[in-house]
Amino acid sequence: MVRGFQGDSLSDPTAMAACAKHFVGYGAAEAGKDYNSTFIPERVLRNVYLPPFEAAAKAGCATFMTSFNDNDGVPSTGNAFILRKVLRGEWNYDGMVVTDWASATEMIAHGFCKDAKEAAWKAVNAGVDMEMVSGSFLGNLEALVKEGKVSGKTIDDAVRNILRLKFRLGLFDNPYVVTDQKVKYAEEHLAKAKEAAGESVILLKNADEVLPLKDKVRTVAVVGPMADAPHDQMGTWVFDGEKDHTQTPLKALQEMYGDRVQVIYEPGLAYSRDKNIAGIAKAVAAARRADVVLAFVGEEAILSGEAHSLADLSLRGAQSELVEALSKTGKPVVTIVMAGRPLTIGKEVEESAAVLYSFHPGTMGGPAIAELLFGEMVPSGKTPVTFPKMVGQLPVYYAHHHTGRAPSGKETLIDDIPLEAGQTSLGCSSFYMDAGFGPLFPFGYGLSYTTFGYDKLVLSADKLKTGDVLTASVNVTNTGKYAGTEVVQLYVQDKVASVTRPVKELKGFQRVALQPGETRTVIFSLPVSELAFWNIDMKKVVEPGDFKLWLGTNSDEGLSAEFEVID
């Protein structure tokens, strides 16, 4: 992403300064409520939340932005530990640090600063170079320097960081970029947008190979509030989106396949929050006339994005009732979800023959989904986050730690518990009686229209030293009927360490395109140094010991082998 924004040189007229945000821990908000406080201990901060930012810094990301949240009582905009000790001191970062929107003076609301003057004092001394919006720097820094609360060197350093970026951008030589390029809705860009949308769609279920739609399909019923929602399809934070240019699934199906199949459209619901069930009967009637039902459900754009938190992640309005009614027709229901977040759709998955999750696919989402439905594109997307069965499971993630009571056998769920069962009869292990242990869909999960087989996992060595590089290879074969792309994933577990370690950690992935029957040996190189973590003494080290490695199709499945790191 840094390369994509910045190119080979920031001085290129088409380059933009990338910004790594929000630094740091913003996504760990209590109760999943945006802007809320976080409590991330230093070891977890260093092992989990700081590494992506360190990677961005090493990639040359030109700017960092502080986050709104406080962590362990210290707002990020006033946190010298993350800004001076880690970012500048440990990573030797020489880019610019900017506040988030008014986050300097928001430290007053946090109860961390008395007024704007104290906010400016704490922010600039913590390591912020530039303030966005609130004006506390402009109004107070001169006085703070005169009072000796902010040193001249601190101001000089901040100015240097800002000017260094401006020099790198070439703004003193060429302050205005003039271009006559016509880039908006250029055909090659629309093609890339369609490709990106198609590759991000995740096939979660495909019972009886209902997808791709076969030639025998003559009539399709298109239903649901997201089938023709050009504004909402673009998703959140789209200030310059133009819905007149959005190609919706309904329009794409009519224009691209209307000569092959009859498309019957009955939305059933006017929008995602619509609770008026009067239109469901018409949608059901349309379904009865069709060979297959395409149900487009999900969320309007306004329901996701910054400051749009939800405590209930189920489908809104009467969408669940719509899917249930469609399933009772006996016709195969293909449910396509357009949403800005993972939703708890276990019931809808059970009621559907196939499920595609497209998130909000953007301007070209319609043609991408249409081509996926008819097999001109083959799904290759994988879940970028774990999908929960119920909200009460959250946070749920693949890289969790084992407890001393991890489930070792079959879970006894709540409806299977005998009356007057003994207190210890369920095994005294760590799981939910109503949700079990696992999620609805694990991290890295996604099906294809074809199938892939894995065999012959080979490690270059079973004993390695800290400076070595482990090579792991596996044969991947397309065992199905369609050409497809598999995302091969590499996971590692440090089995015993000075502090408990995750059950698995993703260390790499590769997209591999294969023709039917084709086999390819996929090779990963894993430097042993990448097994380092912040240990019980808060030092980043590779500890000698036993490790397990997996190569597979998601975080739950794969071939495994073991190796040892020695002194």
In the numeric block, the tokens 């919706």 are attached to 248
Tokens of 546: 């036993």
Helices 365-373 and 187-200 pack at an angle, to 10 degrees, of 50
- CA distances from residue 44 to 116, 252, 401, 408, 507 in whole angstroms, order as listed: 32, 46, 12, 27, 17
CA pair distance 59, 36, nearest whole angstrom:
29
Q: Which of 70, 72, 100, 434 is catalytic?
A: 100
CA pair distance 452, 552, nearest whole angstrom:
10
* pLDDT per residue as tens, the chain (567 positions): 999 999 999 999 889 999 999 999 999 999 999 999 999 999 999 999 999 999 999 999 999 999 999 999 999 999 999 999 999 999 999 999 999 999 999 999 999 999 999 999 999 999 999 999 999 999 999 999 999 999 999 999 999 999 999 999 999 998 887 767 777 899 999 999 999 999 999 999 999 999 999 888 999 999 999 999 999 999 999 988 999 999 999 999 999 999 999 999 999 999 999 999 999 999 999 999 999 999 999 999 999 999 999 999 999 999 999 999 999 999 999 999 999 999 999 999 999 999 999 999 999 999 999 999 999 999 999 999 999 999 999 999 999 999 998 877 778 999 999 999 999 998 898 999 999 999 999 999 999 999 999 999 999 999 999 999 999 999 999 999 999 999 999 999 999 999 999 999 999 999 999 999 999 999 999 999 999 999 999 999 999 999 999 999 999 999 999 999 999
Q: What is the H or E stretch that residue 281 is in?
A: helix 280-288
Domain extents in the chain: 2-168, 187-373, 452-565
Q: Are 228 and 265 in contact (CB under 8 A)?
A: yes
Instruction: Report the CATH number of the 187-373 domain.
Output: 3.40.50.1700
191-198: which pairs have CB atoms within 8 A and are 24 or more residues apart? 193/362, 193/363, 193/364, 194/364, 194/367, 194/368, 194/371, 195/368, 196/362, 197/358, 197/361, 197/362, 197/364, 197/365, 197/368, 197/369, 198/368, 198/369, 198/371, 198/372, 198/377
What pLDDT does 68 receive?
A: 97
Instruction: Report the CATH number of the 452-565 domain.
Output: 2.60.40.10
Q: What is the DSSP letter of 293?
A: E
Q: Are 248 and 362 in contact (CB under 8 A)?
A: no
Active site residue 100: yes
* 188, amino acid identity: E
Domain 2-168: top CATH class: alpha beta
Give the CB-side neighbour count of residue 315, counting CA atoms within 13 A.
28
* 531, amino acid identity: L
